[in-house]
Structure 1
Amino acid sequence: MLQRLYVKNYAIIDELEVQFSPHFTCITGETGAGKSILIEALSLLLGERADTGVLADPSQKGIVEGVFFLPDDPDIRQLFESFDWDWDTQVIIRRELLPASKASGKSRAFVNDTPANLQQLQQLTRYLVDLHQQFDTLQLLQSGFQREVIDALCHHEELLQHYRRHYRTLVEQQQELERLQTSYQQALRELDYDQFLLQELQEARFQELEIEQLEEEQQLLEHIGSVRQSVEQAYQLLQGGYDAEQPSAITQLHQARHQLESAAAQYRLLQPVADRLQSAYIELQDIADELARLMDTITDQPDRLMQVQERLSLAYKLLKKHQVQDTAGLLQKQHELEEKVRRISLNDEQIRQLQDQIAQLQVVIQQQADELSRHRQAAAGPFAEQVNQLLRQVGMPNARLQVVVQPAPLGEWGHDDIQFLWDANQTGQFVSIRQVASGGELSRLMLCIKSLVASHMQLPTLIFDEIDQGISGEAARQVGLLLAELARHHQIICITHQPQIAGRADTHLMVYKEKVKHKITTRVQSLEGEARVEAIARMLSGDHPTRAALENARELIARPD
């Protein structure tokens, strides 16, 4: 709901502030007084592009600011969250038109003092204001709105919610199926080579740390001669047999122990040392025996060396092929290939299961879409007839609306293409409503439509400009009645020249021009009591209303049945 509009330094508006009724506000005034300028200013808040040429004082910035109360709607909350705006049920939208001398004629926009761009304004204000201007691209021309109108009359919100939820699930599953199929086809193209690589690794049968152990064994086998020579020399030094004149280390140790034990009989402090020599003698004897055993095993093994070298050659080839460094990397690669090959069969099974799920869901969705279509088909005819009855009441007796529900590809809202067709003069030739030339006709058609669906749809503030073009008398009275009825549940703002419409308003604003300091500026006055009676009387009979016109005006304001 639009509560307040503030305009400064815009066209012939110096500065003004307008308060609006939550129900029906009419705006009247002489031609050229500035009524349409108010609408133009308001359109800036809706995201229209700005022209600094409209600045009344080119050296100063222009300001248009609107205060709106928002419905607690999940879609609007989500919009605020997506734009990182703080949620509040009151929102202040402001546009600033900067003078060309200061900022190259640019404009700025703010939502609750947070900078915003025009696209964000447009997305927000489509929930707030529905502006109907002559020759404007109206919401009525959008096929989505035409469907919403019919759906609102069908009372199948729960069915539509179920359908949309199923449809979104179907889209997600189809996307997942496409992903799986793409992955599966790619895997199939690589399958033969992956199986070859896997078979090569499986046949190699490498065990953990095997390559590292083979490298150690190869190192030993390649130097077995020098190793054996070192062991033999160590054995000879310990056990003797190298030099008859030079006794072995064990022999000398045995002799040293014997000398100490003899001396210990006279000097007891030597006994512990003798005991340690005895322990050393036993350890060296054991080492010598171990070396003797090892010498029996350390022999040239040319066959084993060849086996190790062949095994390592295979290992190095596989390490290079798979670009890994050790046995662990090779075994990990083997595991990955096993998983990859295994997933191909799993993907095939997943694809079949998902195809079955999609097929089942498509049956459900088709049934729901068919039911939605039946509801729409049933509602379309009676709705069009009701609109046509209202069109006759509002001064378009020859106009006809036809609602056509045609098959369309399955989509988020079903499989229907809903089109509003128009015949302005009973020619029998119905054309797309986009070809309706008259903005006044289009506004009255929208009024008729929304008056029928107002109790079924959440509508924003409805602003009608020139809705009374080409009508008077009874037709104008009927338009006023429709607007008043619509305003019971929605905010209506209407620019009008018709007293029959103005008399139905809850708030009457009169726009007029005033000369201030040799300058013409637009003013807005809220009319009440006799001032309002007189204004409507002037609309009936001219600048000097008669007593009859005044009485007629009072009757219009009294809203007789």
Structure 2
Amino acid sequence: MITRFYLKNYLSFREVELEFKNGLIVFSGISGAGKSVLMESILSLFGLKNAKAELIEGSIDSLGFDLEEFGLTKDDEAVFKKIQKDKSRYFLNNQTLSQKSLSDISSKFIRYIHIKDNSDFNNDNLLEVIDLSLGDDKEFSRVKEEFSSKYIDFIKSSSELNKLISEEKNIEELKEFISYEIKKIDDINPQIDEYEELSNIKKQLSQKEKIENSIEKAKGIFEYTSSVNQVLNLLETDSSFFDDAINELNNIFEKSSDKLNLLEDINIDEVLTRIEQLSHLQKKFGSIQECLEYKEQKKQELARYENISFEKSSLEKKVKDLKSQIESLAQLITLKRKDALKIIEQKVNGYLEYLYLSDALFTLENTLLSKTGCDMVQVSLKNAKLENISSGEFNRLRLGLMAVKSEYALSNSGILFLDEIDANLSGKESGAIAKVLEQISKKYQIFAISHQAQLTSVAHQHFLVEKVDGISNVYEIYQEKRVHEIARMISGDKITAEAIDFAKNLLRV
């Protein structure tokens, strides 16, 4: 639930700081005081509206899910913040995120219900209500869990089978292409480190003639060996250092000549052609190692294509068996849901009696197999489809369904924002909605703007929104102030004694 809310500089509001409790929270006040503006700013904090306030901040004590699945740090309290400067910036526990990401997170625990929202009657939600009602049925839970597991396997296996069938249509072309790719590499038959070795040979060949000429010229130094030794002897200097140097130089020249002789039989054109081939492979695959890995991968693919008929046959059998199993499980789920739906229909009609409606009909029809089974829930009111009933009837039917769903919720089910829930209703109808919302508020924290005394009187927290000299303010009211506000809602600006008495009666004071 939302525990704290702060607003700074938004339209007619300068600064607002509120603390909320669980249950039904109602905002009232004369038209134009700023109730809708306030509600819009709260919704904006969660990315559901776009109020351009300087600062909005709020705290929620428990989200009911793990923030880590969104890549955010988990804390005991979630702090939401929205700052408006040149653009809007959103934060959750001091971590920046986009409005889209924020609304995705908020949708996990907040519902903003308005007249155009018909999501309560989409098939997934209706099936969720039915399945919640079967929460204590261990056999149903086991069957549903087995169905979900096998359905996931069925979808995965079906996807693999479809891929194989698609590949099979072009199997000969694929085999021909892969064989061609393998042959191109085999024709070159590249070896690891071969490119580097050939590059080194190429370098040596390019310098062979130059090295040979240089060595030939340098050999003239050996003609002066005896003269140098003679001079050293005359100078009475040990000549061993010179002898060692001459011997080492001679060895170097001989080794170099041997290496150059080995290059005599090498065809430079062949070397250059080979280097070009290897270079082409390196450019295409990144390296010779990657080229060889690619060839092995293609060999495996070719082997799989050769065995594709066997693999396809195995997958076809698996898909067929899985489909049969999940269809049987889906039938068991349907039988359980049909019995539960009768009870849900009775409960919804029980709430509709409070709301001065009747004859809601819930039926279960067979539909295409999906992750929820093969059930489609159809809802009608007095034999009329939902799209053909009035907005007032739709609103009350939705409340009845929400009330039933709240009965089955195991814990706090989240936060509801209700838009003009009792606008343009009679006192009798407003009183009926108040009773149902009182029931729903046992499992939900509900925020509503009210124009009627009946709903306002059952609120667990009542906030009055006022505007003085163009500046709006909001604060929680109690006892006498609350009686006065409800009496104003009944009789208008000229509050009568009868309105005061009626307000006290509603509040039981």
TM-score by length of 1: 0.63
Give identity over the alignment, percent. Answer: 23
1:467 aligned to 2:421?
A: yes
Q: Which residue of 2 aligns with 1:355?
A: 316
Q: Shift in Å at residue 460 of structure 1?
A: 1.8
Q: Which residue of 2 aligns with 1:131?
A: 112
Task: From 516, 530, 534, give the equivalent of 2:480.
Answer: 530
Q: Which residue of 2 aligns with 1:388?
A: 349
Q: Which residue of 2 aligns with 1:2?
A: 2
1:30 is matched by which residue type in structure 2? I
CA distance 1:401–1:108, change in 2 (3 Å): farther
CA contact (8 A) 1:50 1:97 kept: no
Output aligned runs, 1:171-190, within 5 Å.
Answer: 171-183=155-167, 186-189=170-173
Q: Which residue of 2 aligns with 1:145?
A: 125
SS at match of 1:363: helix
Q: Which residue of 1 aligns with 2:152?
A: 168
State how far apart, in whole Å, the 2-side matches of 1:470 and 1:194 are. Answer: 73
Q: Which residue of 1 aligns with 2:234?
A: none
CA contact (8 A) 1:2 1:69 kept: yes
Q: Which residue of 2 aligns with 1:274?
A: none
Moved more, 151-160 or 29-38: 151-160
Q: Shift in Å at residue 375 of structure 1?
A: 3.0
Moved more, 32-41 or 142-151: 142-151
Q: Which residue of 1 aligns with 2:288?
A: none
Higher relative contact order (CA 8 A, sep 6+): 2
Task: From 365, 373, 391, give the equivalent of 1:406.
Answer: 365
1:485 is matched by which residue type in structure 2? Q
2:36 is matched by which residue type in structure 1? S
1:418 aligned to 2:356?
A: no
CA distance 1:501–1:50, change in 2 (3 Å): closer
Q: Which residue of 1 aligns with 2:337?
A: 376
Q: Which residue of 2 aligns with 1:539?
A: 489
Q: Shift in Å at residue 113 of structure 1?
A: 2.4
State how far apart, in whole Å, the 2-side matches of 1:332 and 1:36 are. Answer: 65
1:469 is matched by which residue type in structure 2? A
Q: Shift in Å at residue 454 of structure 1?
A: 0.5
1:171 is matched by which residue type in structure 2? I
State how far apart, in whole Å, the 2-side matches of 1:555 and 1:121 are. Answer: 43
1:119 aligned to 2:103?
A: no
SS at match of 2:444: coil
State how far apart, in whole Å, the 2-side matches of 1:88 and 1:337 are. Answer: 50
State how far apart, in whole Å, the 1-side matches of 2:491 and 2:413 are. Answer: 36
Q: Which residue of 2 aligns with 1:66?
A: 58
Q: Which residue of 1 aligns with 2:78?
A: 91
Gaps of 5+ in 1: 53-60, 200-319, 325-330
Q: Shift in Å at residue 360 of structure 1?
A: 1.5
CA distance 1:357–1:478, change in 2 (3 Å): same
Gaps of 5+ in 2: 184-276, 282-291
CA contact (8 A) 1:70 1:128 kept: no
TM-score by length of 2: 0.69
CA contact (8 A) 1:384 1:401 kept: yes
Q: Which residue of 1 aligns with 2:259?
A: none
State how far apart, in whole Å, the 2-side matches of 1:361 and 1:97 are. Answer: 54
Q: Shift in Å at residue 414 of structure 1?
A: 1.2
2:335 is matched by which residue type in structure 1? R
State how far apart, in whole Å, the 1-side matches of 2:293 and 2:399 are. Answer: 72
Q: Which residue of 1 aligns with 2:328?
A: 367
Q: Which residue of 2 aligns with 1:487?
A: 441
Q: Shift in Å at residue 387 of structure 1?
A: 2.3
State how far apart, in whole Å, the 1-side matches of 2:118 and 2:45 are. Answer: 17
CA contact (8 A) 1:444 1:467 kept: no
Q: Shift in Å at residue 367 of structure 1?
A: 1.1
Q: Shift in Å at residue 195 of structure 1?
A: 9.0
Q: Shift in Å at residue 170 of structure 1?
A: 1.0
CA distance 1:197–1:383, change in 2 (3 Å): closer
Q: Shift in Å at residue 196 of structure 1?
A: 11
Moved more, 469-478 or 484-493: 469-478
Q: Which residue of 1 aligns with 2:88?
A: 107
1:66 is matched by which residue type in structure 2? G
CA distance 1:470–1:342, change in 2 (3 Å): closer
CA contact (8 A) 2:57 2:81 kept: yes
Q: Shift in Å at residue 365 of structure 1?
A: 0.6
1:501 aligned to 2:455?
A: yes
Q: Shift in Å at residue 128 of structure 1?
A: 2.4
State how far apart, in whole Å, the 2-side matches of 1:332 and 1:90 are. Answer: 52
SS at match of 2:361: strand
SS at match of 1:365: helix
Q: Which residue of 2 aligns with 1:230?
A: none
